[in-house]
Amino acid sequence: MQMSRSIARIASSCCKLKLIVALVAALAIVVLLSRNVSTAFPFYQCLSVNSRTDWSSMDVNTMTAKQIMDYFRWNNASSCRLAQYFGGVTFLFGIDGQKAVCMDPEIMPLAGKCIVYSFGINDDWSFEEMIDRYGCDVYAFDPSLNMTTRNWNDTNIHYFHLGLADHEEQSDDGWHVQTLSTIYQKLLTEKLHASDRFIDYLKIDIEEDEWTVLVDILHSGMLGKVRQLAVEVHLPLEGSISDYQRLVGLLRSMEEQHGMIRFDSKINAYSEGSIRHLFGMGYAAHEMAWYNRRPLHYYNE
């Protein structure tokens, strides 16, 4: 009887020890995932849609709420054989800030020769630092940072206290925004990169202003100078179905009339909110990426 009680006490102690170990391990995982660890792995791959829908044959003006959401989540992943993720910061429930880059030989940025424009930093330099290590000259823009125009030591990252918009404006609070065509000409004038060079990778993460900027890029012809494009697009929480149809129409124009091939689309896991006319709760931001199918001459040099 005494031996049985001893065994029971030992078993109970073991159970308590296992429970403590499990709790400590769980706490350690939470702490590690909450420490802004840089990563390049697509942990929320499952939050995309590889639909076989023929979007080009669908009338934008009659698209339903479900079709609109499926369109934004459609990743068309088969259009790029080798997509890699650059940058990103890991938080508790996912990754924020990672950008897909198509590395197929005929499309990939050429290390030592590539130019990257990055708009919207928000003090997360993980993408810029990783694409710099890969071998690109990086031109980073963000008027919200409390720093002046500078070049980073021992890197090819050039920072400008300047933002992207569909017009030029200098506000009283020190924000200065310009169009992509104006900024491109500014860098040419200052001889910061070679004349008539294509932008190998254009990153736009400017918190809802991307829609007016995309219209300007299309109208100005600057999209023809972009090899790959990554945009975090935001859906208005209070928009109407016609508002969302108009946004779909803009992206469809890029894809069907201006030669841009989508190869990635991921939900931003931190953008969950109530989208009233699109099934209530949903995700308002999507990380989307395209490449230009039109030939660019210097890739064949």
Query: Domain holding 172: CATH number?
Result: 3.40.50
Among 82, 103, 86, 105, which residue's Cα sits nearest to residue 95? 86
Residue 8 has pLDDT above 50, yes or no: no
**Percentage of the chain with pLDDT > 90?**
51
Distance between CA 180 and CA 4 in Å, rounded?
A: 79
The chain-wide mean pLDDT, for the chain, equals: 80
| Predicted local confidence at residue 173, as pLDDT | 77
Shared domain check, 246 and 175: yes
Distance between CA 26 and CA 115 in Å, rounded?
A: 42
Our count of domains for the chain comes to 2
Helices (H), 135-240: 180-189, 210-220
Helix axes 65-73 and 241-257, enclosed angle (nearest 10): 40
Could you tell me the CA-to-CA distances from 200 to 17, 23, 108 in Å, in that order? 55, 47, 8
Residue 301 has pLDDT above 70, yes or no: no
| Predicted local confidence at residue 13, as pLDDT | 53
Residue 116 contacts residue 103 (beta carbons within 8 Å): no
> For 44-53, 107-116, 174-183, 204-213, which range has the lowest pLDDT when averaged over its residues?
44-53
The type of residue at 198 is F
Could you tell me the CA-to-CA distances from 183 to 173, 209, 273 in Å, in that order? 20, 17, 34
pLDDT tens-digit map of 180-222: 999 999 999 888 887 678 999 999 999 889 999 999 999 999 9
Parent domain of 47:
36-300
| Predicted local confidence at residue 209, as pLDDT | 93
Shared domain check, 23 and 42: no
Could you tell me the CA-to-CA distances from 117 to 54, 202, 203, 217, 229 in Å, in that order? 32, 5, 6, 14, 10
- The band of 94, judged by pLDDT with boundaries at 50, 70 and 90, is low
| Predicted local confidence at residue 24, as pLDDT | 46
| Predicted local confidence at residue 53, as pLDDT | 74
- The band of 119, judged by pLDDT with boundaries at 50, 70 and 90, is very high
From the number of C-beta atoms within 10 Å of its C-beta (0-12, 13-18, 19+), residue 212 rates as middle
| Predicted local confidence at residue 54, as pLDDT | 81
Question: Which two three-digit tokens encode residue 271?
Answer: 């953008």
Shared domain check, 93 and 27: no
> What SS3 state is found at 220?
helix
| Predicted local confidence at residue 172, as pLDDT | 75
Shared domain check, 18 and 114: no
| Predicted local confidence at residue 275, as pLDDT | 63
Shared domain check, 100 and 57: yes
- What is the rounded end-to-end Cα distance, in angstroms, of the chain? 87
Question: Which two three-digit tokens encode residue 1?
Answer: 């009887």
Tokens 């040419």 belong to residue? 188
Distance between CA 278 and CA 71 in Å, rounded?
A: 12
pLDDT tens-digit map of 243-282: 999 999 999 999 999 999 999 999 887 666 656 556 555 6
**Backbone phi, then psi, for 65, in 5-degree steps?**
-60, -45
Among 112, 103, 101, 102, which residue's Cα sits nearest to residue 136? 112
- The band of 149, judged by pLDDT with boundaries at 50, 70 and 90, is confident
Shared domain check, 236 and 157: yes
Shared domain check, 115 and 19: no
pLDDT tens-digit map of 58-81: 999 999 988 998 999 999 999 999
Shared domain check, 103 and 5: no
* Whether the model pTM is above 0.95: no
Shared domain check, 274 and 285: yes
Which residue would you say has higher pLDDT here, 105 or 41?
105
Shared domain check, 295 and 186: yes
| Predicted local confidence at residue 296, as pLDDT | 54
Residue 265 contacts residue 72 (beta carbons within 8 Å): yes
Shared domain check, 80 and 13: no
Distance between CA 233 and CA 6 in Å, rounded?
A: 63
Shared domain check, 68 and 23: no
